[in-house]
A = this chain, B = another copy of it.
Amino acid sequence: MKPADSITIGEAARATGVSAKMIRYYEETGLLGPAARTASGYRLYAPADLHALRFVRRGRDLGFSVEDIKALLALWQDRARASAKVKALALGHVDDLRRRIAALEDMARTLSDLAEHCCGDARPDCPILDDLAAGATTGDGPHHPAFGVGRTPSR
């Protein structure tokens, strides 16, 4: 029944670090082709499938969306691919990462500045709450749209 080099989904999960749940999900959404099955319906994974699963896992670890990974997988399996396409995808993703990093850094900077000025004792006075409430009264002040994130504390 079960070919010698094929393993079940649980074993594949352990071997690749991708949960069985996610393996099924990737199949369902078309990231991976339908798995081979035993007569009784169990999914079977051959070494090449594990290879693809680890590829996907690595892509996720690098923060690629499943959609991007679908494209990368296709390029990987296309022996006539142009590396330019891969590079463009990767650099686009790096841009995305950098934008998200900048947004998070803005938040972290603003917040730790505020926290630095908060004595953090039993008294109620708190520049952090003051800032939140000030955002509350200044509303969408001078630096409004710019996807919100970079507002400087107004005082």
Chain copies in complex: 2
The answer to whether B100 and A131 touch across the interface, beta carbons within 8 angstroms, is: no
Residues of B within 8 A of A20 (CB): none
The residues in A between 26 and 63 inclusive whose CB is less than 8 angstroms from any CB of B are: 50-55, 57-63
The residues in A between 114 and 145 inclusive whose CB is less than 8 angstroms from any CB of B are: 114-115, 118-126, 128-129, 131-140, 143-144
How far is B61's CA from A7's CA once the two chains are assembled, in angstroms? Answer: 47
The answer to whether A83 and B139 touch across the interface, beta carbons within 8 angstroms, is: no
The answer to whether B87 and A126 touch across the interface, beta carbons within 8 angstroms, is: yes
Decide if A8 is an interface residue (CB 8 Å cutoff): no
Decide if A4 is an interface residue (CB 8 Å cutoff): no
Interface bits A99-124 vs B (CB < 8 Å: 1, else 0):
11101110110111011001111111
Tell me how far the C-beta of A139 lies from the nearest C-beta in chain B, rounded to whole angstroms.
5
The answer to whether B100 and A132 touch across the interface, beta carbons within 8 angstroms, is: no
* Minimal Cβ-Cβ distance residue in B for A129: B76
Mark A residues whose CB is within 8 Å of B: 15-17, 50-55, 57-63, 65, 72, 75-76, 78-84, 86-88, 90-91, 93-94, 97-101, 103-105, 107-108, 110-112, 114-115, 118-126, 128-129, 131-140, 143-144, 146-152, 154-155
